[in-house]
Amino acid sequence: MPAILWDGAMLRHLFLGLSRSDRAWALARRSAALRPVLRRFVAGETMDEGLTAAAGLRAGGIDATLDLLGEATESEDGARRAARGYVEVLNGIFHRGLRSHVSLKLSQIGLDLSEDLAAELLGLICRTAAAVGTFVRVDMEDSGRLPPALRVFERVLRFGVRNVGIVLQAYLLRTPEDLQRYIRQGVSIRLCKGAYAESPTVAYARKADVDAAYGRLAEQLLLYGHAPAIATHDERLIRRSREFAASRGLAKDRFEFQFLYGIRRDLQERLVADGYRVRVYVPFGTHWYPYFMRRLAERPANVVFIARHLIGA
């Protein structure tokens, strides 16, 4: 039988498709073999496990942003439960004395149901974060949710909330305009590449184009952004950002590099040793499956790691 050659694009579409499959999620939840591998990318299923992971990072000079996993909530009760969960996480951050932030997806707190509901709950979470002296990052999802997500985010800004920032995705064609608008407003921006399957009418399809866009946007963010976050594991893009910042005389503590939990810890430690600020996105919770599958879609090396573990190599 001829071998099937899987390229990066094929693997990406496969795992992004599986991330939306309820049947595959049910199978993954029952897989005992998958659990040890999952712990590389997800801190655990409980708040205590997430906070403990954040404390361990802080001991090594690395900060965390905690994400109580969940998205596409289908009821108002579910959205309000998610918001209460974030309030508990923020209280846990305070009681443990951590320098952690929180990150959330607006679809988790009701975006698909009502922009009013999502704005109400985002405002509640931001007020709680302000009370304990920390910050909320609004994650981005697929491009179909982007316009309502930005409307909710901007509504909260108009209410006077300032301890909230946004994530922008370099592969979207509209991002340069969004980046400039939020820079002018003094909003903290986390720049990532993007992890959803998108049409070429709204996003770059070629990796080289995404990388080029990321490099251009990162330089604008470093020059003009407020508390910019350069979120990538691509060592070439990190080197480019470092060299650009040094060439413009930007202080190392003016920005931070951000990573996903379980990926490139060696590089994180090198950056800390070189005097840079580093923050790791620490996901936890029972709704780990879609997040986990997107991590597999992003990097074929993650698939190889998991395959080797499952076969005992």
Architecture of domain 43-287: Alpha-Beta Barrel (3.20)
- Lowest-pLDDT choice from 10-19, 36-45, 74-83, 150-159: 10-19
Q: Look at the block and give the residue holding tokens 């990052």.
A: 137
The three-point CA angle 42-102-114 to 5° equals 100
Entry field: residues in the chain = 313
Active site residue 274: no
Is the pLDDT confidence value at 1 over 90? no
Query: Facing residues of 104 across strands?
Result: 138
Query: How many CB atoms are closer than 10 A to CB 174?
Result: 14
How is 145-161 classified by DSSP, letter by letter? GHHHHHHHHHHHHHTT-
Each residue of 147-185: pLDDT tens digit? 999 999 999 999 999 999 999 999 999 999 999 999 999
- pLDDT for the residue 294: 73
- Arithmetic mean of pLDDT over the chain: 89
pLDDT band at 292 (very low <50, low <70, confident <90, very high): confident
Q: At residue 126, does pLDDT exceed 90? A: yes
163, 157 Cβ separation under 8 angstroms: no
Task: Choose among 108, 53, 50, 57: nearest CA to 84.
Answer: 108
Considering 190, 240, 264, 294, which one is annotated as catalytic?
A: 190
Catalytic residue from among 139, 145, 240, 294? 139
For residue 71, how far is the Cα from the chain centroid?
Answer: 13
Domain ranges of the chain: 43-287
> Comparing C-alpha atoms, which of 14, 13, 24, 29 is closest to residue 288?
29
Active site residue 190: yes
CA–CA dist 246, 256 (Å, integer): 14
The pairing of strands 101-105 and 188-192 is: unpaired
